[in-house]
Chain A
Amino acid sequence: MFGSTKESVRPARLDRDRGLVESARRDPACFDALYRKYLAQVYSYAFYELRDHHAAEDATERVFMQALTGLSRFEERADSFVGAAGDAPEAAADASTFRVWLFRIARNVVSNERRRNRRRPVASLEHTTGLAAADDIFESAAAREAGTAAWRAVARLPEDRRRAVVLRFVDEMSTAEIAAVLGRSEGAVRVLLHRALRSVAADLRGGLS
């Protein structure tokens, strides 16, 4: 019965960057504010995915160039969640804020970069981060060892789980945002994260034993 189906609608969230996006559309010089705000997030995502500073820089540059030139095509879409009564509301896959849109570009750029990198050797994440933190080697040796173990465990995760973990823990995205970036449902992302944590836990336990 169609009439008996009740829908629960979660109020749409507003894009926090709407003002900045409108300013950047009017005057591209204002894009700088968006660039500064998201530089570290996009760079971190690229770095954890590509495990190389130079490759991450190239990818970051491509992401922001594409975002700047394609800003007129960006359309904010509210993530109005509609689900049957009693069920947990799920995110619409086409919900989009500027942040989600930017990370969709980043996901595509990084995927292309990874495909290219398969043909040539890439410096490992551990090696690169080890070089970067060489000056405080005595102070944080234990911490870095634990961190290296965690990184290694994350690096061993399947691609979709690793992406979900990086977006959740590094870029501090909500489950709904990750779902929009990866084009999955919120439920699927929750399960991805849960399984990723179980895998990391098993990996860490194996490393300790």
Chain B
Amino acid sequence: MPGGTSRDARRTERYIDGLMEAEEHGAAEVPMDLDLDPAVLVAARELRASLTRVHPSFRFEEGLAARLAQVGAATQGPRREPAAQVFASPIAPFRAPGLAVAAAAAAVGGSMASAGRTATRDGLAPLDVPHRLSLTSRSNRPFVVGGVGVASAAISLGAAYVAWRWSRGSQTPMVRAVRAARSGRGGHASGHGRRAAVLHGILGVMS
């Protein structure tokens, strides 16, 4: 009777499930089904005990692993994308973030979009390509480069200020005297010469 066979088949399935679960959890007793043929229960237990998993030899395992690695390495070359191609696009938005995002999306649109399709087809969460690109371009590169730019500008301003101060002639008499005394210092000027120059400068100031 087909209905009876189907019912018994379901019972047998439940029994095997219980048998395996009990073994997995180390249970001492196996669930019983009194409506099932005892011979079937015995056969299930016998098969569970006898049909053990067989492991190949260690030498075979390692040998096959090496051969698979060789085949994998042979197929790996053309499929791997160069790093520059992957990471070049986020650098571009640094100059003009708004435009660069679109440009980068267009540049890598093929590869990233195809990755997104693959992921969706395989049941993974789809990648939001433009979002990822904009985040990358705004948070990383401009921040780092902008900091360097501010520091560089500050140094330039400082240097310009010092140069301006240096080149600007002071109008105070004392400064003029000191400058005159300094200009009087020669590489080989004697101490007497320096003193005379200072006195000359002071006298000039006084006059």
Contact = CB atoms under 8 A, between A and B. Distances in A.
A joins B in a complex: yes
Interface of A: 14-15, 18, 22, 27-29, 31-32, 35-36, 39-41, 43-44, 47-48, 53, 56-57, 60-61, 64-65, 68-69, 75-76, 78, 143, 146-147, 150-151, 153-154, 165-166, 168-172, 175, 187, 190-191, 193-194, 197-198, 200-202, 204-205
B60 A57 contact: yes
Contacts, number: 143
Contacts of B68: 31-32, 35, 64-65, 68
B41 to A, nearest CB: 9
Given A147-B50, A165-B47, A190 B65 contact: no
Contacts of B121: 75
A193 B50 contact: no
B9 A150 contact: no
B40 interface: yes
B56 A197 contact: no
A78 B54 contact: no
Interface string B48-68: 111111111000110011011
B55 A22 contact: no
The B contact surface, by secondary structure, is helix
A180 B183 CA distance: 99
B60 to A, nearest CB: 5
B26 to A, nearest CB: 16
Q: List the 3 closest pairs (A to B, CB-CB), nearest first.
A: A28-B72, A201-B39, A201-B43
Central interface residue in B39, B46, B54, B121, by most chain A CB within 10 Å: B54
Given A32-B65, A193-B12, A146 B50 contact: yes
B87 to A, nearest CB: 16
Central interface residue in B6, B20, B55, B122, by most chain A CB within 10 Å: B122
A205 B69 CA distance: 49
